[in-house]
Structure 1
Amino acid sequence: MRIGIVCPYSWDVPGGVQFHIRDLAEHLIRLGHHVSVLAPADDGTPLPPYVVSAGRAVPVPYNGSVARLNFGFLSAARVRRWLHDGTFDVIHIHEPASPSLGLLACWAAQGPIVATFHTSNPRSRAMIAAYPILQPALEKISARIAVSEYARRTLVEHLGGDAVVIPNGVDVDFFARAEPKAAWQTEGAGGASGGGAGRPAGGTLGFIGRIDEPRKGLPVLMRALPKILEARPGTRLLVAGRGDEEEAVASLPASMRRHVEFLGMVSDEDKARLLRSVDVYVAPNTGGESFGIILVEALSAGAPVLASDLDAFAQVLDQGEAGELFANEDADALADAAIRLLGDPRRREELRARGSAHVRRFDWSTVGADILAVYETVTDGAASVATDERTTGLLARWGLGRD
């Protein structure tokens, strides 16, 4: 099958949607399908052979964050050329409701279109206001996928219609096989917390995410840290992600800042090793999450997970059976749960076992098969996707400027 996948966000800026598209494309290629991904990318960005650049993206506030998107007449021309050259059997568009390549591809393509909705935002006035613009494109979609029940709810309430829920996928074995890194583990007994002879009680907590994006929740974790250190003075926190490290620890007493180690951006391999090394992975995100791919990665690596009780996180963690939950934005609740987990090796082992069994449902062997089944449903009896020359007229109708 010839499959074209449209990525809305800049390929050179890491994010959950980009990782999902990358892993899906590589899974499909391993199965023998021809896959091409169209994505924004800055000049000079190294791209995999299956990715086609649609040009530079610009930052746009979107869903409580800042997304780097690509839109306009020049982008529309690149979309049409990619569609024409690809002669795809099916187009898979991600986030078609955002002002991005996905919406342009919806306008331009003819033939089977599958759309995946990642966003969970129950109060999006912008999406409601944009519905008249989005409607002609959304009507061309043959099948809709939502990555969670909460993304599906956002779609139904704001845009109408419905979607099948297929979660984000993870290569579970990649994380499960990773070797822990001694420098990231708690000293003594291969990562089990608690001090050895004369060593203060402690443990290693992990956090992965953009440091300077408040909804990722690092400030909540920083507010919880003094209470954790008071109970377990040997605890340290490993933080991986981009952002202002000095600002991140500014709220901590100076004497406690040495307990926080910033690792910067890490490779996929080091992310897996980090998750294999920590005693507890903490996800203090405060909102705007439709799924929680980092939770699935942590479970795959065998890390006991402590997460805020967002609806999407609770669903991924099987309502607290595969990981522990604390009240969202409650630093005291986070601290109490972390102290309890760090002091209870038996509970951590129980969570590892439950998480490792639960996470198999998110492996690409399952998720990829479900997505392929959607492709096969919409392509039965359909011709190859062609370009729609009305795109330029639609862009002009909505008064869109050039890049």
Structure 2
Amino acid sequence: MRIGIVCPYSWDVPGGVQFHIRDLAEHLIRLGHEVSVLAPADDDTPLPPYVVSAGRAVPVPYNGSVARLNFGFLSAARVRRWLHDGTFDVIHIHEPTSPSLGLLACWAAQGPIVATFHTSNPRSRAMIAAYPILQPALEKISARIAVSEYARRTLVEHLGGDAVTIPNGVDVSFFEHAEPRKEWQGEPDAGVLGFIGRIDEPRKGLPVLMKALPKILAARPGTRLLVAGRGDEEEAVASLPPEMRSRVEFLGMVSDEDKAKLLRSVDVYVAPNTGGESFGIILVEAMSAGAPVLASDIDAFAQVLDQGAAGELFANEDPDSLADAAIRLLGDPERRAGLRERALAHVRRFDWSTVGADILAVYETVTAGAASVATDDRPGLRTRLGLARGGASR
């Protein structure tokens, strides 16, 4: 099958959507499909052979963050050329409502279109206001995927129609078999916490973790916090007493291999995100690596962690709740071992062997045509996929 995938966000800036698209493309290529990904990218960005650059992106405030998007006449021309040259059997557009390549591709593409919705924002005034502009493009979509129930709810409430829920995928074995690094591991009487994310993006929650750290260190003075990600390191620790700042080690940006090793090394992975998350791929990666997870109790994280069965939850934006939970976990090896065992069983449902097969089933459904869907023996599949011909109506 010839598959064209549209990435809305700049390829050179790490993010969950980009990682999902990269891993999906490589999974499909391993299965023998021909895949081309169109993505924004700076001129000097090294790109895999399957990625086609649509030109440099610009930073735009989007969904509580700053996204690097690509839009305009030149971008539209590049989209049309990519579509013409690709002669794809199916186009898979991610975030078709964002002001970027996805929307441009939706306007220009002909034939079967699958759209994946990642955003979870139940009060998006911008999406409501933009609906009249988006409607003609959305009506061309053949099938819709939401990465979580919360992304599906955002879609239904703002744009109408429905979608089948297929989570983000992870190569579980890649994380499971990574080798820990000794310098990132804790001593028997001192634990190591880990955090991976953009340091200067408030919704990733590092300030909440920093506020919790003094209480954690008071109870367990030998604790270390390893932080991987880009941002202002001095500003990140500014709220800590000077004598505690040495307990925080900044690793900067890490490779995929080092990320897996980091997650294999820490005693507890902390995800203090405050909102705006529709899934939580880092939680799945941490569970795959066997890291006990401590996460804020936002809806998306609670769902990924099986409502607390596969990871510990603390009250969102509450440093005391985070600290108390971290102290309990660091002092209870049996609890950590139990979480690790349940998480490794739970995480199998997110492996690409399962997620990839579900996405391919959607591709095959839309390329076979709506007539074959109507006779499918799986009740409600047409409705869950949000198939075109009325799927975008409100």
Q: State the partner residue of 2:381.
A: none
- Following superposition, the deviation at residue 44 of structure 1 comes to 1.2
Q: State the partner residue of 1:50.
A: 50
Counterparts of 1:75-94 in structure 2 under 5 Å?
75-94=75-94
Secondary structure of 1:21's partner? helix
Q: State the partner residue of 1:21.
A: 21
Q: Deviations over 1:5-39 (max 9, x none)?
A: 00000000000000000000000000000000000
| 1:327 to 2:327 alignment | no
Q: State the partner residue of 1:336.
A: 324
Secondary structure of 1:110's partner? coil
Q: State the partner residue of 2:224.
A: 236
Q: State the partner residue of 1:60.
A: 60
Counterparts of 1:2-401 in structure 2 under 5 Å?
2-188=2-188, 195=189, 202-381=190-369
| Aligned residue identity for 2:64 | G
- Following superposition, the deviation at residue 128 of structure 1 comes to 0.3
Secondary structure of 1:9's partner? coil
CA distance in 2 between partners of 1:82 and 1:229 (Å): 54
Q: Deviations over 1:28-55 (max 9, x none)?
A: 0000000000000001110000000000
CA distance in 2 between partners of 1:352 and 1:237 (Å): 20
Secondary structure of 1:45's partner? coil
CA distance in 1 between partners of 2:157 and 2:322 (Å): 32
Secondary structure of 2:223's partner? strand
- Following superposition, the deviation at residue 233 of structure 1 comes to 0.4
CA distance in 1 between partners of 2:187 and 2:340 (Å): 20
Q: Deviations over 1:79-100 (max 9, x none)?
A: 0000000000000000000001
Secondary structure of 1:234's partner? coil
| Aligned residue identity for 1:126 | A
Structure showing greater relative contact order (alpha-carbon pairs closer than 8 Å, 6 or more residues apart): 1
CA distance in 1 between partners of 2:102 and 2:191 (Å): 44
What TM-score, normalized by structure 2, do the two folds share? 0.93
- Following superposition, the deviation at residue 187 of structure 1 comes to 2.1
| Aligned residue identity for 1:326 | F
CA RMSD of aligned residues (A): 0.7
CA distance in 2 between partners of 1:374 and 1:312 (Å): 23
CA distance in 2 between partners of 1:381 and 1:231 (Å): 62
CA distance in 1 between partners of 2:69 and 2:124 (Å): 18
CA distance in 2 between partners of 1:136 and 1:166 (Å): 25
| Aligned residue identity for 2:215 | K
| Aligned residue identity for 2:192 | T
| Aligned residue identity for 1:78 | R
CA distance in 2 between partners of 1:311 and 1:287 (Å): 9
Percent identity, please.
91
Q: Deviations over 1:336-366 (max 9, x none)?
A: 0000000000000000000000000000000
| Aligned residue identity for 1:52 | V
| Aligned residue identity for 2:127 | M
What TM-score, normalized by structure 1, do the two folds share? 0.91
CA distance in 2 between partners of 1:230 and 1:36 (Å): 52
Secondary structure of 2:191's partner? strand
Q: State the partner residue of 1:191.
A: none
Post-superposition, which runs of at least 4 consecutive aligned residues in structure 1 deviate over 3 A? none
- Following superposition, the deviation at residue 381 of structure 1 comes to 4.8
CA distance in 1 between partners of 2:84 and 2:208 (Å): 49
For structure 1, which runs of at least 5 residues remain unmatched after alignment? 189-194, 196-201, 383-403
CA distance in 1 between partners of 2:330 and 2:187 (Å): 13
For structure 2, which runs of at least 5 residues remain unmatched after alignment? 371-394
CA distance in 2 between partners of 1:106 and 1:97 (Å): 9
- Following superposition, the deviation at residue 124 of structure 1 comes to 0.4
Q: Deviations over 1:294-313 (max 9, x none)?
A: 00000000000000000000
| Aligned residue identity for 2:253 | M
| Aligned residue identity for 2:210 | M
CA distance in 1 between partners of 2:238 and 2:156 (Å): 42
